[in-house]
Amino acid sequence: MSNDITRRNMIKTVAGAAAVAALGNVAGAEESPQPRPRHGNIHHSACQWCYPKDWTPEIFCQNAVKLGMYGIDLVGPDWFPTLKKYNLVGTMTTTHSIPKGLNRKENWDECLGKIRAAIEATSDAGFPNVICFSGNRDGMDDEEGLKNCAAALKRVVGLAEEKKVTICMELLNSKVNHKDYMCDRTPWGAKLVDTVGSERFKLLYDIYHMQIDEGDVIATIRKHKDRFAHYHTGGVPGRNEIDGEQELHYPAIMRAIVATGFKGVVAQEFIPKRDPFKSLSEAIDICDV
């Protein structure tokens, strides 16, 4: 992933520091004269849908700057101007729906059209990734679904290669949150990556989802590191804060990710039960190994 846009670069500029100092107390954010320093081993992001509706793009970006974040996740092109204003990255661009995905040929026109449009907009902005989904099984055999997903992705991955944007299919649990979703196991997703055979198609490994459906998180990260381009977090059970009240030990997971040589993004995707700014701040501190 390109490091052209980083929090560190902004800290080095007088104008960037002055802009941050002027932000003040936003949406419950702590007073902070400059971006919080980070170790630099993890590119920190957060999925925008998890946070309060009064966190407008402007407020979310201001809060992200205060926390020393790299960018904001699962955004559309309507966010791009505000992200650029604050020297942040749109770390994952949204595309088509989750249940209506690439495993069914009748969905290809709609899904691939949205993926192509997202690739173009993401590339124009200089951002790295767009998301995609397998879709639900709805009675379809997994092997047939894999073949259909691979055939669909081969139609669009050339554009991704040309535009230097990575298409990421998200692994989601089918046990609790996304009943019947097809890409619900890492081996299936890994086989799809190998079948497509492009550096511009990888998996989004969602730690929360895969803890629910298969567990064995750190061993899976080590085994499939070359197939993962992006990570999401979340506390299990409940998809809330990633603190000591849930079953995953995120510092060890983050150390395992760093040890693989990963240079991409880890995005917080939990629904805060407490003050959202404080919870996000604590989560990034936990993951900043």
pLDDT tens digits for range 115-173 = 999 999 999 999 999 999 999 999 999 999 999 999 999 999 999 999 999 999 999 99
Predicted local confidence at residue 47, as pLDDT: 98
Model confidence pLDDT, tens digit, residues 263-284: 999 999 999 999 999 999 999 9
Predicted local confidence at residue 18, as pLDDT: 34
Predicted local confidence at residue 35, as pLDDT: 87
On whether residue 13 sits in a domain, the answer given is yes
Measuring CA to CA, which residue among 51, 130, 47, 133 is closest to residue 92?
A: 130
Predicted local confidence at residue 223, as pLDDT: 98
Tokens matching residue 35: 């971006």
Lowest mean pLDDT among 24-38, 142-156, 189-203: 24-38
Predicted local confidence at residue 187, as pLDDT: 98
CB-count burial class (<10 Å; 0-12, 13-18, 19+) for 70: buried
Q: How far apart are CA 81 and CA 68, in angstroms?
A: 19
Measuring CA to CA, which residue among 241, 257, 230, 284 is closest to residue 1?
A: 230
On whether residue 42 sits in a domain, the answer given is yes
On whether residue 92 sits in a domain, the answer given is yes
Predicted local confidence at residue 217, as pLDDT: 98
On whether residue 226 sits in a domain, the answer given is yes
Strand arrangement, sheet containing 228-232: 43-46, 265-268, 228-232, 201-206, 166-170, 129-132, 89-93, 71-75
- Count the domains in the chain: 1
Range of the domain at 178: 7-287
User: How much is the average pLDDT of 108-118?
Assistant: 98
Predicted local confidence at residue 13, as pLDDT: 34
DSSP 274: S
Predicted local confidence at residue 34, as pLDDT: 74
Residue 67, CA distances (Å) to 49, 89, 206, 241 in order: 18, 14, 22, 16
CATH number, residue 144: 3.20.20.150
On whether residue 2 sits in a domain, the answer given is no
Residue 176, CA distances (Å) to 132, 212, 222, 225, 240 in order: 20, 8, 25, 25, 14
User: How much is the average pLDDT of 68-72?
Assistant: 98
Q: How far apart are CA 26 and CA 99, in angstroms?
A: 36
Q: How far apart are CA 203 and CA 186, in angstroms?
A: 9
Contacts of 5 (CB under 8 A, 6+ apart): 70, 71, 87, 88, 89, 126
Q: How far apart are CA 72 and CA 80, in angstroms?
A: 10
Predicted local confidence at residue 165, as pLDDT: 99
Lowest mean pLDDT among 32-41, 48-57, 80-89, 180-189: 32-41
Q: How far apart are CA 22 and CA 281, in angstroms?
A: 20
Asked if pLDDT for residue 73 goes beyond 70, the answer is yes
On whether residue 66 sits in a domain, the answer given is yes
On whether residue 149 sits in a domain, the answer given is yes
Which residues make beta-bridge pairs with 47? 73
Predicted local confidence at residue 125, as pLDDT: 98
User: How much is the average pLDDT of 52-65?
Assistant: 97
Model confidence pLDDT, tens digit, residues 170-190: 999 999 999 999 999 999 999
Model confidence pLDDT, tens digit, residues 205-257: 999 999 999 999 999 999 999 999 999 999 999 999 999 999 999 999 999 99
